[in-house]
Amino acid sequence: VRSIKDKPIAGILHADLDAFYASVEQRDNARLAGKAMAVGGSVILAASYQARALGVRTAMPLRDALELCPNLAVVPPRMEAYSDASAAVMDIFRDTTPLVEPISIDEAFLDVSGLRRLSGEPAHIAQGLRTRVASEVGLALSVGVARTKFLAKVASGVAKPDGQLVVEPHLELEILHPLPVQRLWGVGPKTAEKLAERGIVSVADVAAVGEAGLVTMLGTGSGRHLYRLAHNLDPRPVVTGRRRSSIGAQRALGSQQRSFDEHCATLLELVDRVCGRLRDGHRVGRTATLRFRFGDFSRDTRSRTLGESTASTSVFLSTAQDLLAPRRDEIRRRQLTLLGFTISNLSPADAVQQSLPFDARSSANLDEALDAIRTKHGSSSIGRARLVGRSNAVSVPLLPDPVLPL
DNA sequence: TCTGGGGTCCTAGGACCC
DNA sequence: TCTGGGGTCCTAGGACCC
């Protein structure tokens, strides 16, 4: 970990696509361009700037949004179009510097502090990124530049829409301290409320409290974290090559009463979708988590860790069913309104060597033996199998799990 | 405000191991 | 007899982010 002292110059970029989902839709559909529009269903996922001007916000129920803006055009999400656009933008980032850390589908940190001789000042690089993203992908990008990740993110927020802002090192505290506490990473409604009870509403207020005081109020983890951010101590480097650590899917069920069998069918869909994504990414996982939300909006989770990693739909399905079954009565009583399934504890599929019980002596050759193994174990296997002969051994990939028939 | 669909990180207790 | 000190893993829950 490098300290801030080693980096006297603002060289971290936070690049953030503006109103991402909505902008992709406006780009692809001339009738939506320049209009108050949003992406979503019963809830707004993203709103164009024209809609935001009328008060439409992310996570707002559609009904409320239409009240504010009766002419609001609403289109359903097209996740694939967004991932494609995101990938194209991230490619432009990586073409600029190898030090790219994507943090969500529409945001990334870039470290360009070592590129001064090669590519010029960070502000110049930021301008170049914005021009390329506009011309090659057709989207508006805002960029913040600072010495630290946190300030770079604050700066990109201030620069929006379609702008850029460099935080010069001598102006850091001037920008930081007047901000409301909610702007600090990790401060949500609960923490903001706890702080407000003690009269702490701005970052300057937080900075005025000692570290010990913050730790007493919020616990060791968040207390220290907030203390550091408020004093502009954020030595986190830009990290490349991070991989997702969990993959999940969930389904809101509305207020309609459903049978247990219907819940089982939903669960199968979720498990199969998640396992399919796992296999597509050549990963395997070991921990299954079921997430419940009930009519009174309380939440609950149940998880189980398997003895070995897999991406098999059938293995995870039976695990998930084991977690669901004991709650059958409770689910009816408390009115299940959301069901989620997540796999964590992930590792690369190639790292898994399974030992499968099989006697290949009756097979004439390798292909035949493999076919037989896949027939016998294919529905629950991913990774590689190692076949040991008299004088040599081969390691072969196993087939991914087929989609289970309903 | 009656609420979508993806994620991350932290905490804390208990089981278990040496 | 009622008890050290260190560690890992698992489960459940909470808060937060986009």
**Nucleic chain C contacts, Cβ below 7 Å:** A 59, 103-107, 153, 182, 184-192, 286-287, 299-305, 345
Q: Please state whether strand B lies within 7 Å of residue A186 at its CB atom.
A: no
pTM: 0.85
A244 touches strand B (CB under 7 A): yes
Measured CA A140 to C1' C2 distance, in angstroms:
68
Residue labelled with tokens 């209009």: A35
Query: Which residues of A does the annotation mark as catalytic?
Result: 107
Please give the pLDDT value at position A108.
96
Residues 26-45 of A with CB under 7 A from strand B: 41-43, 45
Q: What is the DSSP string of A125-172?
A: HHHHHHHHIIIII---EEEEEESSHHHHHHHHHHH-SS-EEE--GGGH
Sign of torsion over alpha carbons A308, A314, A318, A320: positive
pLDDT for A350:
80
Separation in Å: C2 C1' and A383 CA: 48
Q: Which residues pair with A283 in a beta bridge?
A: A348
Residue at shortest CA–C1' distance from B3: A61
* pLDDT < 70: residue spans in chain A: 1-8, 352-406
pLDDT of residue A406: 40
* Model pLDDT, residue A273: 94
Q: Provide the percentage of residues in chain A whose pLDDT is more than 90.
A: 70
Output the distance from A220 CA to C6 C1' rounded to whole Å: 22
Cα dihedral A346, A351, A355, A358 sign: positive
Q: How far apart are CA A200 and CA A177, in angstroms?
A: 12
pLDDT of residue A405: 46
List the Cα angle A142/A34/A145 in 5-degree steps. 5
Cα A78 from Cα A85, distance rounded (Å): 11
Predicted pLDDT at A1: 41
